[in-house]
Amino acid sequence: MSTGTMVSSRLYTPLSRALPRQIISRPAQIGSRLPRTRTARFYSSKKESKDQFIIWRPWLRLSIGIPFIGALIYSMATENATQTEAPSIAEIDKALKEKAPITDDSPMRLRMEKLIKEHQKKITDELSRIDGKAFQADTWTRPNGGGGISCVLQDGNVFEKAGVNISIVYGELPRPAIERMRADHKSFVGANVDSLNFFAAGLSLVLHPHNPHAPTVHLNYRYFETSDPKDPINGDKNWWFGGGTDLTPSYLYPEDCKHFHQTIKDVCDRHDSTYYPRFKAWCDKYFYIPHRGEARGIGGIFFDDLDANFLQSSLSSSQNPQETLFSFVSDALGSFLPSYVPILERRKDMPFTPEQKQWQQLRRGRYVEFNLVYDRGTSFGLRTPNARVESILMSLPRTASWVYMDPVSGTRTDASAAAAAVLAEETGEQTEEISRQMEMMDVLKHPRQWV
C-alpha cells in the first residue's frame, strides 16, 4: 500500500462532505509516494486563481481541516477528482457555540437564539409565580439541526392553558417554497437557485386564563435568514425580523386596552415614532377574520419583513440595519410582562357567571378559526418537514364552543341597544350582560385608537 493510500484511509471520513463544494484537480505527474517537502510547499502556497481552495473562518479550520487534507491526499493518490460540500449553517453554528460563548460579535442567528432562551425563562418564571403551578418543559430536537423548548401549563390555578415556546430551526427551502415566500418578501433573492438553506428562531406564547374577565394574549418575535447552500458564509443572504403582540379580551375594559397599547407604544417611540401607528394598523389588518367580518381581538402591534429596505422607508437611519432592528425586537420582547401582568393581576380573581364563561367559549371559537384558517405562522409550521405539531398547535385554547346563530355574535345580528333589550327578554339574560357582549362586538367590528 502506498503512503498516500495509507494516509487517506485514516483521514478520509464522511466529515469531508462538510467542506466547500469545489473540484480539486489532481497535480500533474504525482507518483505513488508523496514527498513530504513537496506536500508542505503545496499546502502553504497561495493561489489567486478561481481554483484556489476556499478557506473558511479560522474556527472551522481545525474542525474540518483534517478531513479536508484526507480528501486532498485521496484525490492525489487515486488520480480522481473529489467533490466536497460547504458546511451547512447548522454545522457552522454548532462549531461556533462549541468554541466560545455567544457575544455581540456572534452571528445574528446565535444572538437571537440566546435572546429568546433568556426571555422564555424570565416569562415562565413570572407566570409560574402568578399561577402557583410550574410549567412542563419539553425539549426537542430536529434531525437536520436545531430544536426547541416547549413550556406548557395546563389546568392551572389562573391559566386554563398557557404555552411559551421557543424554536430554532434549520432546513431547506425547495423551489416552490421560495416562490411562495417571494410574494411576501419583496427583497427576496435566490431567483436562480433550486433551493436555499434557511434558519428561523422565535419565541411564541399564548396565554388563555380561566377567568373570562382576564384576556387572552399572544406574542411572537422571530428572526429568519436564508443563505446559498453552496456558500453559506459569503453567498447572498436574506434576513428579516417579524413579530408583535396582541390582546384578545372577552369583555371590554378600556383601561386594560389603554395600558396594553401605551406600554407597546412607549417602546416603539423610543426607536421610531412611526413604528406604533404603522404596526398598530398592520395588526388590525392582520388579525382579522374575513368570514366573520370582525377582528380577533383589540389589537396591539404586528410587523414582518423588517430588513434594511424597511429602515429606508422609516425615519430611522442606521449604519447597521440588522443591529438597529435587533435592538427594537429585544426591547419589544422585554416589554411583554409590564404590558400584560398588571391586567392579569386585576382580572384573574374577579367573580364570573356561567353565562360569562359561555361567552368566553364563543370568543375562543373565533380564536381557533383565525389560527387554523388565516395565521401565516401556523400554516408555515405545519408545512415544514418534520414539524412538531404539538408545539405549533399550542396556541389553541383548551376549550372552545360554537353555537349556531348565536344572537349576539352570530352572523347578521343586530348590535343595537334596542336589540339588546329584546335579546335580554328572549333569552332571560340580564340586559347589562347582553349589552357588554355587544360592546365587545362593536370594538371587534370597528377597531379603536386606544392611545
Residues with a catalytic annotation lie at 218
Cell of 330: 429585544
Q: Three-state SS string across the chain, please?
A: CCHHHHHHHHHCCHHHHHCCCEEECCCCCCCCCCCHHHHHHHHHCCCCCCCCCCCCCHHHHHHHHHHHHHHHHHHHHHCCCEEECCCCHHHHHHHHHHHCCCCCCCCHHHHHHHHHHHHHHHHHHHHHHHHCCCCEEEEEECCCCEEEEEEEEECCCCEEEEEEEEEEEEEEEEHHHHHHHHHHCCCCCCCCCCEEEEEEEEEEEEEEECCCCCCEEEEEEEEEEEECCCCCCCCCEEEEEEEEEEEECCCCCHHHHHHHHHHHHHHHHHHCCCHHHHHHHHHHHHCEECCCCEECCCEEEEEEEECHHHHHCCCCCCCCHHHHHHHHHHHHHHCHHHHHHHHHHHHCCCCCCHHHHHHHHHHHHHHHHHHHHCCHHHHHHHHCCCCCHHHHHHHCCCCCCCCCCCCCCCCCCCCCHHHHHHHHHHHCCCHHHHHHHHHHHHHHHCCCCCC
CA distance 66 to 84: 13
Cell of 110: 446565535
Cell of 277: 401607528
Are 110 and 52 in contact by the 8 Å Cβ rule? The answer is no
Are 16 and 24 in contact by the 8 Å Cβ rule? The answer is no
CB proximity list for 178: less than 8 A, separation 6 or greater: 188, 190, 193, 195, 196
